[in-house]
Structure 1
Amino acid sequence: MVVKVAIWGVLILSSLLLVMTVFRSRGGTRVLASLGVNVVVAAFLLYLLNLLSGYTHIELPINTATLGTATVLGVPGVLLLIGVKVVLL
């Protein structure tokens, strides 16, 4: 129980320090806005892909791993996820 509280404390403290560091820099709000837009676009692409799964027969779950890959890599990331699903699964 004490270990869980310590881990949560470290997580919250490090998150607060990260937010403080980002907002202190001059371009910090631009970085957060850009990241937010990328997450929204990635979620929309994955949702659109799942919406069209009746035609394509390809479904990708919207979870942290797929959303993170699509956020960082964009459309090539979604194509990478599709390729991994087709080849490996």
Structure 2
Amino acid sequence: MKLIMMSVFVISIVLLLFIVFKKKLGFKWLSILGIHMVLAAVGIYGVNFSGIIPNIYIPLNPVTIGTVVLLGLPGVALLAGLKMTL
């Protein structure tokens, strides 16, 4: 099972690199992703320590940051709503 998972990982990395270099995308998309991740972390940090929503702490981990990167500001509202209800 481990061998299958590793082979799928290697094949996907090779195909991703092939697409990046074939389409001449460069690494601009990587810097944009990095900027979005930093802004997502700053947004979650702002909600945590601004006191806008009292008694709410959204942890900074890859899942929460990924949610906010994918959904944007509504992602912060989604996480805050989940935190309030659960």
Where on the TM-score scale, by shorter chain, does this alignment land: which range? 0.7 to 0.9
Matched, 1:67 2:60: no
User: What's the % identity of the aligned pairs?
Assistant: 38
Per the normalisation by structure 2, the TM-score is: 0.75
Q: TM-score, normalised by structure 1?
A: 0.73
Q: Which has the higher helix share?
A: 1
2: CA distance, partners of 1:7 / 1:25: 27
CA 1:80–1:36 in structure 2 vs 1: closer, same or farther (change >3 Å)?
same
Structure 2: distance between partners of 1:72 and 1:38: 9
Residues 28-82 of structure 1: CA distance to partner in whole angstroms, max 9, x if unpaired? 42222211111111122223333446x7211112223211110012222111211
Q: Which runs of 5+ in 2 are unaligned?
A: none
Q: CA RMSD in A?
A: 2.2
